[in-house]
Structure 1
């Protein structure tokens, strides 16, 4: 792993989507140096070594959704995509092979477009089971209460006991926010 370039965004509440005005969305641009012969198990192994399990391999849904009961990490295994975070008026970020995205509980995400081969590996702190929320009327305030109960992870999904997660989420000191 190489030291990644950090892009961080605090994403405020947006009507039907609670998002997370306290914890920033974090993108580690180019964190994973993947060899052409590497399989998705390389990303799963990095995440698992740092306490992020219950992994899956797929794309990102093409509709807004979020998880109110856990944070999520995704590593881009192949391809590229434009992904919107925060709902209809949220920030759009281009994701490329090797990028890692740390999504705080409550932050909506949706794939806008992608290459045909776009694939991510997703996982959750301590192997949490995730729920699915869609920004529908009636989801809140229960979703807000669940988000408030989600604990910060014990480690950074890429760098373990080091990394920007501690600066940004524990010390509230992100330079790009």
Structure 2
């Protein structure tokens, strides 16, 4: 991201009230991590879309689940629940899922057995495309998650290997029109999500 782009993006974020993200953008820090996952050991993952991990977007309100819910609601992703993350491998074939971490910290395993370990803490957000395996490896006391989904998408719960029909379902899940964190101006989105140029990639 060029210096001009970085300043413009920081101004955009500041205008939306995301001051912590704005300051990090101005300093040139990559705060969206793009994680690509291959199918493995019964977990399909998504053949086209990567996981997006937003670091510290709600740091100021990290322990306020209502702040996460308001963010998702404002960007058209209705929040559906407050809970944790299951301690077993699972995925959703019928919906994309965004998780806002609103308390404590945890280590997640994304992609199924042999996947990638990811440490998350209050203030972080992760966007899981349909088919993405995820589970909780460990968590601190007070670990709390807010879950949301795009309109007109309802998650199932899958623990078994995907059938050919399920793989077709995963590929057919509609790409959301709005970034759940950055809204309509989510220019850091990967080109395979909204057709916009990514700001950077971390594997």
Q: TM-score when scaled to structure 1?
A: 0.90
| 3-state secondary structure, aligned to 2:41 | coil
**What are structure 2's unaligned runs of at least 5 residues?**
1-17, 25-30
Question: Which is bigger in relative contact order (C-alpha 8 A, separation at least 6)?
Answer: 1
Stretches of 4+ moved more than 6 A in 1? none
Cα distance in 1 for residues equivalent to 2:177 and 2:41: 30
**CA RMSD of superposed structures (Å):** 1.8
Equivalence map 1:33-44=2 (5 Å): 33-35=59-61, 39-44=64-69
Cα distance in 2 for residues equivalent to 1:113 and 1:101: 17
Task: Kindly name which structure, 1 or 2, has the bigger radius of gyration based on alpha carbons.
Answer: 2
In terms of fraction of residues, the more helix-rich structure is: 2
Please name the residue that 1:72 is paired with. Answer: 97
Cα distance in 2 for residues equivalent to 1:87 and 1:166: 22
Cα distance in 2 for residues equivalent to 1:143 and 1:161: 30
| 3-state secondary structure, aligned to 1:122 | strand
Give the total of aligned pairs: 174
Q: Quick check: 1:15 aligned with 2:60? A: no
**What are structure 1's unaligned runs of at least 5 residues?**
none
State whether residues 61 and 67 of structure 2, in contact with CA within 8 Å, keep that contact through their aligned partners in structure 1.
no
Match of 1:103 among 117, 123, 128: 128
In terms of fraction of residues, the more strand-rich structure is: 1
Q: TM-score when scaled to structure 2?
A: 0.79
